[in-house]
Amino acid sequence: MRIATWNVNSIKQRLDHLAAFVKEAEPDVLCLQELKCVDEAFPRSEIEALGYNVHTHGQKTYNGVAILSKRPLEDIRRGLPGDDGDDQARYLEGVISTSSGIVRVASIYLPNGNPIGTPKFDYKLAWMDRLHAHAQHLLKQEEPIVLSGDYNVIPEPKDAADPSAWVNDALFQPESRAKFRELINLGFVDAVRACSDAPGLYSFWDYQMGAFQRNNGIRIDHLLLSPQAQDKLKTSAIRRDVRGWDKPSDHVPVVIELDIE
DNA sequence: ATGTCAGATAATATCTGA
């Protein structure tokens, strides 16, 4: 089973790229972030025509996440528990059943949190606490779980081409990184890092100042695997080439292969 | 600090968020 995550930065602007990517990569499951549209405006029929079941948790203008799956998605959860007053569409979860078992998949758009020292950063940290609590709950089921998405966290200095440029950014704050580590320490593994310790693996390049041309990137899109999913991990890959397509998202897809039929 | 995008509102620009 192939599972991918991709922050598309507007699904309407990226529909052609999405079609090209799925035809080429043929993911069984594709988690999307930053749809920037409400459920009613999501290009559902176009994506169903590509062979996917479509589940969305959309929002006007901002945020919005989706899970596209060749197989049906069940036990669907929209929104992260822990704050009934949070109306930002940043979390969608479901279960896919196969002949060789199940896998629980989440599509996550973790808050950016900039600028630091404002309520936006507090919201990011509180959201990470809620994700931690929910992940802890999920782990008790002892299932293969893949928490996929744009975490807006640079885990380590080697995950940035120029770490010094990010020291005042919410994505690289000690608090953000510590909470990401605490999530990992529950028992998850970062799928890309399970396959490679190499520096220079990035999933995002800013649109500004020719960041991609200068390879001034960061790695912030992650797939975290529960122990039962780790056991089935075969490969992981970052589709850097997609950033070179015409009118790209600022993020590229990250793809893993699990030994599940 | 920002040379870029995308969406919304108002308007043929300006703002917000990333």
- Answer yes or no: are the C-beta atoms of A154 and A216 closer than 8 Å: no
- Reference A93, options A140, A139, A156, A31; nearest CA is A31
A209 C-beta less than 7 Å away from strand B: yes
- Determine the pLDDT at residue A84: 95
* CB neighbour burial string for A86-121, b if at least 16 within 10 angstroms, e if fewer: bebbbbbbbbbeeeeebbbbbbbbbbbbbebeeeeb
Chain A residues 54-83 with Cβ under 7 Å of strand B are 60-62
Is A162 known to be catalytic? no
- Reference A8, options A40, A30, A39; nearest CA is A30
Nucleotides on chain B that have an atom closer than 7 A to a protein CB are 1-8, 17-18
- Determine the pLDDT at residue A221: 98
Is A123 known to be catalytic? no
- Determine the pLDDT at residue A218: 98
Residue nearest to nucleotide B6 (CA to C1'): A10
A117 C-beta less than 7 Å away from strand B: no
Catalytic residue among A109, A169, A221, A250: A109
Q: Which nucleotide is nearest to A7 (CA to C1')?
A: B18
Chain A residues 28-57 with Cβ under 7 Å of strand B are 36-37
Whole-number Å distance between alpha carbons of A182 and A193 = 16
Q: Which residues, 6 or more positions from A156, have their beta carbon under 8 angstroms from its beta carbon?
A: A177
A246 C-beta less than 7 Å away from strand B: no
- Determine the pLDDT at residue A233: 98
Q: Is the dihedral of CA A242, A248, A251, A257 positive or negative?
A: negative
pLDDT by 10s per residue, chain A, length 261: 999 999 999 999 999 999 999 999 999 999 999 999 999 999 999 999 999 999 999 999 999 999 999 999 999 999 999 999 999 999 999 999 999 889 999 999 999 999 999 999 999 999 999 999 999 999 999 999 999 999 999 999 999 999 999 999 999 999 999 999 999 999 999 999 999 999 999 999 999 999 999 999 999 999 999 999 999 999 999 999 999 999 999 999 999 999 998
- Answer yes or no: are the C-beta atoms of A121 and A170 closer than 8 Å: yes
Q: Which nucleotide is nearest to A13 (CA to C1')?
A: B6
Chain A residues 131-190 with Cβ under 7 Å of strand B are none
Q: Is the dihedral of CA A132, A135, A140, A142 positive or negative?
A: negative
- Determine the pLDDT at residue A100: 87
